[in-house]
Structure 1
Amino acid sequence: MSLDIFAPTAGAQAFRRDINGLRAWAVTAVVLYHFGLAGFDGGFVGVDMFFVVSGFLMTGIIGKGLQRGDFSLWNFYLARARRILPALIVLAAVLLAVGWFFLMPKEYEMLGGHARRTLLFASNLRYLQESGYFDNDAHEKWLLHSWSLSVEWQFYLLLPVLLLAVWRLFPGRRAMVLVHVLLLLVSFCICVALTSSEPPKAFYLLQSRAWEFLAGGLLFLFAESLRLSARIRLALEWLGLLSIVCAVVFLDSSSRWPGWLALVPCIGTLSVLLARREASPWTGNAVAQWLGTRSYSIYLWHWPLVAGLAYCERLNSLAWVLSALFATLLLGQLSYALVEVPARRGLHGLAPRWAVAALLLAIFPPLLAAAWIRETDGFPQRLPAAVGAIEAQADNRNPRQDECLDKGATCTFGGPSIEALIVGDSHADAVVTAAQAALPGSQQGIRFRAAPLCLPVFGAHEVEKKHAAPCLALKRSLKAELADASSDVPVIVINRTSVYAMGYNETFEGEETGRPLVFFSLPADRASPEYLEEFRRHYLATACEIAGHRPLFLMRPIPEMAIDVPHSMAKAMLIGAPREISITLAEYHARHAFVWGLQDEAHEQCGARILNPLPYLCDDKACHASRNGRPLYADDDHLSEYGNRLLVPMFAKAFASMHKEGVALAQRRKEAR
């Protein structure tokens, strides 16, 4: 959102108190929504209100300039830059400076990338590639709110060029109206279609948002000379404000947005603009005028404060939220008084070429800093050594992960004498080196085959298509292994089995929690009793098929912490609030009861043996994510190379039992001969 829609517009058209009041309504809705205050679940519609107002004002500036014959494309862009850039540059610079002291390397690197995209007005495209606006990890993006600035700037780049071309070919209002109508209909159809098929694109892209700007512009073209009675204008204002209130109160983040529903706040905004009641007590009062005048700076600074509360895990504290709301108003006032107004006056007094030079000179340092931060991977050397050591555990993973998991190669860990075949997914990859360390002799080894997000259950289909082919290859390899009658090498299955049946219990790349990751007949949105019974049948059938050919070992699920352990511990240490991360045994069993039941059935029906990591990772009350202040996990659910060493005794017992069974089997074969 740009200063054009937040601050009084001079020159092209007279200042309107009702528009300034609409800005106040919009920014209040957005700010209170982001801070999570009850009753403002649909406050995100404030952005749509701003888009409509912006389209109204910009079409007015361009249209009147074309009518007068003095419209300048260069001056239009320069005016927008004068209004938008100064406060935005200061915000980016402050965040980069603060992040130096308080952000982890990956966070700081991400901030650098986001700051660069923000200053180049392309952040909406970056956020589209990452995840949705309503996802839980949105609070990790300190400049997420800049997506709307990028959409507006992209609109500002295209609209004057288009209208100027139309005016030169077909001078007059009629052609401009026709262009607005046609583009509005096309954009709205794109918006509705994408909202159903690809919601993030509908949310972030200009082509699906342009209709909101164009609706405002169309209103200007139709209503500039329209004269309405006082009664009609009052009715229009009431209708508009009621529509806006209904959208703020009754919509929420689960609504299909923007789509058809965006018509509600947009029509409401158009109604208030058409009413033009500048003396209205709802938009013309002193509070609304104060907020409206400072709304750009308020909007700029509120989201970093929201992200800061989330970073410090204080977003659920009413006292902290209220303090942050006060800080939002204070920073908004300081930014308006010390940056917006002086920059606007100073740049306006310069010749155009000097104004451009001043803006380029101001934007260059934060752009250079952002690029440097990206190139140095967040410059981890700036962190205290203790913090860096904890954060480094995120990279303390199986050194052969790329070869053996990501590329799906069949690997041997250890010597040429194969003692066991380990199959599974990334959880198998996270512990295979511990199994190798537990082998009795240096010539003994493990054959390993795993694939990301792969459940080695015959008949299971992956919801994520990108993982389907590697997983299918793994299952075919397992089938071939079982068909080899000359081998009796035991099979150890290690999986994050619960995630396939019950879905994620943490936020992962925007995926929905609680949605199963595999299906057998039809994809399931939830783990219904019918779905779980189908899962059970296929799981047991596969386990018994394997056990019919080889000794089978099933490892119980690794405890899942649901938050990134090294990142959370390092961040807590950096901000001076060390934390102990754990889950209770009751939480563990609530998550994994279904899988434990399956494994117990496989033990009873097929003779599968059970490997239980809990005695090595948990005490009698909880499963802990660290030991001696060092994380046991590389993220939220994968053990690190440090953590998996706790399981070496478990694997050693398993190999000892395999050896005893092998000796007994050899003896029986000898006696049979």
Structure 2
Amino acid sequence: MNGTIRSVIATEWARIFLTFLSANPVGCHFAQGKIMGEYRGDIQIFRALAVTLVLLFHLGIAGLPSGFLGVDIFFVISGYLMQKLHRNDHSAVSFYQRRARRLLPAYFATIFFTLIAAYWVTLPIDFAQTAHQAAFASIFSSNIGYWLQNSYFSKDNFNPLLHLWSLAVEVQFYIAFPLIAWLCRDRRWLLVGIALASFALCLVVLTVSPKTAFFMVPTRLWQFAIGMFAATWSGPADKRVGAASLAAMTVIPLIALGVDARDILYGHPGAAALAISGATAVALANPLDRRFVESAIGRALQRLGNISYSLYLAHWPVLVLLHYRPFGGTITGGGSVALFLVSLVLIGAAALALYGCFERPGPKIYTAKRAVLVATTLAGTAILAPSLQQTRFSGEQRQIFAGATDRSTYRCGKMFRIESPGESLCAIGKGEKTVLLIGDSHSDSIKQTFAKTASQNGFATYFSVDNTPLISGGNDADWLVHEAERKNADRVYLHFAPKNLNPAIILDAAHRLRSAGVQTVLIAPVPIYSGNVLVSLYDHDAHGKPLPRQTLVEYDKLNRAKLDAIGNGGVPIIEVAATMCDPVCRLTDANGDPAYFDDTHLTLSGARMIERLLNQDFEARR
């Protein structure tokens, strides 16, 4: 790269860097609809539609299963406005400066007040998650923070700042924008190529790691590029096409996507994201009829679009904190009609407060130095506050809270799925010989203890990437025999929750494995409960409520018929209940650490309770 090119790109980056100071959860699409002297009231209408879709979806309104596509509308609008503003250096710079003054105060206020509310409302395990998210949000990297979360889109995680992930995607797009704009100058074909390459990457990654496809910029870049392309469109505009596109933007979110997150047709971002992004781009290139824009309905929608930034910022923390239940994860919808109405009132009040106290007077509040100081202070507070909050609780209660994080990485980890998309097993531990551990999420909760025990006995463990082997999908008995032979396994250990323990399937798999010279061993299900064990332990300690009780007799009533059928079929069984129930099943280990992190899954401490039984089995089969 020669000096001239470096100079051009450096200049562009310096100019666009001002965008960082104006970043917001849905980026520059919250700008008032004035582009290079031309007011686009219909863009405010598009914003109003987008934020309404998101809000109603998060409220759990029936009939709007894909309202989250409102964020996809925002991404396209952002790309459109960035490209338009790029054509006029002066207006672009002044735009970013205006956005910083108006938007940053409300953004930082959202993080601050969410932290304060969570400090007093939530328990330490949930507040620690809030603080962690606030630290990422203060440096505009929320998407990375959520991508790093242990499980895939799990509602078990408490995420009161989840909606800020789109801000981070915007900011990271801004970093890349100067180079994209420079490369695509007078090369519209290259912009099309970037969009196609990004969309192809998105679909490929979607089939491997939907979480990565959802949160990361390279797999979202195509949506910004579509907006940029719409901004360069020089063909004739047709108001009827614009109206039809707006109708499509309204109808598409009414379509329910499938349950298979890895399906390119029904997963997200997939076909539905492409459809609504395309409709948004066409609407941007074909402005709506001015008569509609200036009508009473149009003006009302524009006013809603004007406060859409504050409404977007306020709605999610209010919903999550209002519906908060200890150890309950992220809850936003459902409940009584009264709770729904209270939610609407509080969201409206919070949005108007943000708009009136922080967004609208932002130009009088904001300075670049203050922005840096506030961001630094928020990050520091987020790091230190959890330790301070812990002091409000007893040592026994802190021990209970620690159980929520006493678990290993989900399955084989995200990076393994990305780096080895074709592999159905991952290696855990080392050894000269090989065993397989196959099962549902219950096998996932014991895999670390199992692999440690196997390694101590000279065995490497291979663990199934998929969470439903021998339950659904293509990972059936034929697959299991093939993988056992491929890995030259001595034995296959199976472990399932009671509901997934199917004697017919297990005996069929064991018969096929036996024919291939591989032995099958079943690790019996662990005792399970009807409610979150951590909640029960906390309520018992803090409020004196009785603990859930299960005896060995009750365990046998649930599991014995299935276990006998499997055992009579010649499959050895490791009876874990003999260790965990004596005769009352234990909720904690000998040190008082919780044995479960929810209602059915063992913590690492709980899994260690069956380590002796696992070791005895390995020693007996040498």
TM-score after normalising by structure 2: 0.69
Distance 1:41 1:527, change over 3 A: farther
In the alignment, which residue of structure 2 is the partner of 1:94?
A: 113
The answer to whether structure 1 residue 277 and structure 2 residue 244 are counterparts is no
Q: Deviations over 1:624-654 (max 9, x none)?
A: 8589xx8863423438989999x9xxx9xxx
Distance 1:501 1:181, change over 3 A: closer
CA distance in 2, matches of 1:27, 1:574: 43
In the alignment, which residue of structure 2 is the partner of 1:357?
A: 369
Alignment equivalent of 2:81, drawn from 57, 63, 79: 57
Is 1:240–1:267's contact at 8 Å kept on the other side of the alignment? no
Alignment equivalent of 1:383, drawn from 385, 393, 418: 393
> Which residue identity lines up with residue 85 of structure 2 in the other structure?
I
User: Match of 1:135, SS?
Assistant: coil
Alignment equivalent of 2:528, drawn from 560, 563, 566: 560
Can you give the 5+ residue segments of structure 2 that lack an aligned partner in the other structure?
Answer: 1-24, 261-265, 409-427, 460-466, 485-493, 617-622
> 1:573 deviation in Å?
8.0
Distance 1:612 1:191, change over 3 A: closer
Q: Deviations over 1:177-201 (max 9, x none)?
A: 3443232222222222222233222
User: Match of 1:127, SS?
Assistant: helix
Alignment equivalent of 1:233, drawn from 236, 239, 244: 239
Distance 1:369 1:326, change over 3 A: same
Distance 1:211 1:471, change over 3 A: same
Identity of aligned residues (%): 22
> Which residue identity lines up with residue 474 of structure 1 in the other structure?
A
Q: How does 1:539-618 map to 2 (within 5 A)?
A: 557-561=525-529, 565-566=533-534, 568-569=535-536, 581=548, 592=559, 595-598=562-565, 600-601=567-568, 612-613=577-578, 616=581
CA distance in 2, matches of 1:132, 1:545: 32
CA distance in 2, matches of 1:21, 1:584: 61
Is 2:405–2:597's contact at 8 Å kept on the other side of the alignment? no
CA distance in 2, matches of 1:373, 1:96: 9
CA distance in 2, matches of 1:538, 1:111: 49
Distance 1:502 1:311, change over 3 A: farther
> 1:43 deviation in Å?
0.9
CA distance in 1, matches of 2:159, 2:231: 36
> 1:6 deviation in Å?
2.7
Is 1:23–1:50's contact at 8 Å kept on the other side of the alignment? yes
Distance 1:529 1:240, change over 3 A: farther
CA distance in 2, matches of 1:283, 1:364: 44
> 1:611 deviation in Å?
7.3
The answer to whether structure 1 residue 211 and structure 2 residue 222 are counterparts is yes
> 1:152 deviation in Å?
0.6
The answer to whether structure 1 residue 638 and structure 2 residue 605 are counterparts is no
In the alignment, which residue of structure 2 is the partner of 1:367?
A: 379
> 1:102 deviation in Å?
3.0
Q: How does 1:53-132 map to 2 (within 5 A)?
A: 53-63=77-87, 65-66=88-89, 70=90, 75=94, 77-130=96-149
The answer to whether structure 1 residue 519 and structure 2 residue 487 are counterparts is no
Distance 1:117 1:536, change over 3 A: same
In the alignment, which residue of structure 1 is the partner of 2:233?
A: 222
RMSD: 5.1
> Which residue identity lines up with residue 315 of structure 2 in the other structure?
H
Q: Deviations over 1:389-448 (max 9, x none)?
A: 543566999xxx9xxxxxxxxxxxxxxxxxxxxxxxxxxxxxxxxxxxxxxxxxxxxxxx
Higher mean alpha-carbon deviation, 264-273 vs 41-50, is at 264-273
Alignment equivalent of 1:533, drawn from 507, 522, 530: 507
In the alignment, which residue of structure 2 is the partner of 1:151?
A: 169
User: Match of 1:140, SS?
Assistant: coil
Q: Deviations over 1:471-521 (max 9, x none)?
A: 498289389xxxxxxxxxxxxxxxxxxx997779xxxxxxx9x999x9344
User: Match of 2:391, SS?
Assistant: helix
> 1:387 deviation in Å?
3.6
The answer to whether structure 1 residue 37 and structure 2 residue 61 are counterparts is yes
Distance 1:160 1:545, change over 3 A: closer
> 1:541 deviation in Å?
10
Higher mean alpha-carbon deviation, 99-108 vs 46-55, is at 99-108
Q: How many residues align?
A: 528
In the alignment, which residue of structure 2 is the partner of 1:420?
A: none
TM-score after normalising by structure 1: 0.64
Distance 1:50 1:382, change over 3 A: same
Q: How does 1:232-251 map to 2 (within 5 A)?
A: 232-251=238-257
Alignment equivalent of 2:50, drawn from 2, 26, 36: 26
CA distance in 1, matches of 2:31, 2:209: 34
CA distance in 2, matches of 1:521, 1:197: 21
Q: Deviations over 1:67-122 (max 9, x none)?
A: xxx3665x555444334421121111112212222333333232222111112111
Bigger Rg over Cα = 1
Distance 1:311 1:573, change over 3 A: farther
In the alignment, which residue of structure 2 is the partner of 1:262?
A: 273
Higher mean alpha-carbon deviation, 583-592 vs 45-54, is at 583-592
The answer to whether structure 1 residue 187 and structure 2 residue 179 are counterparts is no
Higher mean alpha-carbon deviation, 557-566 vs 83-92, is at 557-566
In the alignment, which residue of structure 2 is the partner of 1:474?
A: 454
Is 1:241–1:272's contact at 8 Å kept on the other side of the alignment? no
CA distance in 1, matches of 2:117, 2:276: 36
